[in-house]
Structures are given as structure tokens and as C-alpha cells.
Structure 1
Amino acid sequence: MTALPNTGASGGNPLAAASGVAVLVGIGLIVSGITRSRRVKS
């Protein structure tokens, strides 16, 4: 994994950056799952 640039929100904390990425990935998976279910139903 590549190091993410330090932002004001994370304060350069690796754990905060990792958790932020995990949240973004989780949201992406949820959105993709919803779109897939909608496509199947339609």
C-alpha cells in the first residue's frame, strides 16, 4: 500500500487515513451492491 498524503483531517495519523479509506471503500461497495440489485430487479 502506498502512503497517503497528510491531510488536516487525518493529522498525518496512519490509522485515521486507513479508516478513512476503509469507509470510502465500504460506501463504494454498498453503492455498487444497490445498483446491481436495481439492475437485476428491473
Structure 2
Amino acid sequence: CYILYRKDKHRGVKARNPHMDNNDICERWRFETSKIRNHTKRR
């Protein structure tokens, strides 16, 4: 699920925050709501 989440978020996150890397996106995934996580899992 994280792979799909990362794919969806990476471009936008990097455009707004060029200094962020995959670890930062992973950290965001860890703190996402269960609603967002479940939505990603269903894809």
C-alpha cells in the first residue's frame, strides 16, 4: 500500500518541498489516518 501512496504523493511533495526524500514520505504514511490508508489498500 505504501508504494501506491508514495506514487500518488511523490511528485506533489517534491514540488512543494524539494528537500524531502522517501523517508519523509514514509513518515507521512505512518501518520496517515486509517481512512486514507484503507482507501489506498482498496486500490
Q: TM-score range with shorter-chain normalisation?
A: 0.3 to 0.5
Q: Which has the larger radius of gyration?
A: 1
Q: TM (normalized to structure 1)? A: 0.37
Structure holding more helix per residue: 2
Q: TM (normalized to structure 2)? A: 0.37
Flag the structure with more relative contact order, 1 or 2, with Cα contacts below 8 A and sequence separation at least 6.
Answer: 2
